[in-house]
Amino acid sequence: MELWAAMLALFVFVFLKAFQQRNVAFDHYWPVLPISICMAACEFYVIAYVVSEGYDLVKVLAIGSAGGTGTLIAMLLHKRIFSRGQGFQVKDAEDQGAQGSVSDTNLGTASTSPKGRRS
């Protein structure tokens, strides 16, 4: 087995793992089982590679970099697939702040709703 094949296997494994995590977080049920089966296949391949080829720092860095890249791409692709027609959007910290986080609200001031009740 070659290092490139192990890198590809871990890239796919971590991609699937990150994609699966977002499926769980956002209640997307249909892809869970097929992704789990693919994850198992990739994980077994990487374990077999390490058992047959051994462990060293170069392999850890190469395979780890492939895994990190898989995570980033999975996050972006999941957002694109499940954005429900909103298109591909990557929000930075400024965009998230514009949506109104708890830290942006004035928690010390009582406000009233349109019907006059306190909220």
At a CB cut-off of 8 Å and minimum separation 6, what does 77 contact? Answer: 19
**pLDDT band at 109, cuts 50/70/90?**
very low
Q: Confirm whether 116 is domain-assigned.
A: no
Q: Confirm whether 102 is domain-assigned.
A: no
pLDDT digits (tens, 9 = 90+) for 50-106: 999 998 999 999 999 999 999 999 999 988 888 865 544 445 555 555 554 444 444
At a CB cut-off of 8 Å and minimum separation 6, what does 45 contact? Answer: 5, 6, 9
Q: Identify the helix (H) or strand (E) that includes residue 68.
A: helix 57-81
pLDDT of residue 104: 44
Q: Confirm whether 100 is domain-assigned.
A: no
d(CA 105, CA 103): 6
Q: Count of domains in the chain?
A: 1
The answer on pLDDT for 36 being more than 70 is: yes
Q: Confirm whether 41 is domain-assigned.
A: yes
Q: Confirm whether 107 is domain-assigned.
A: no
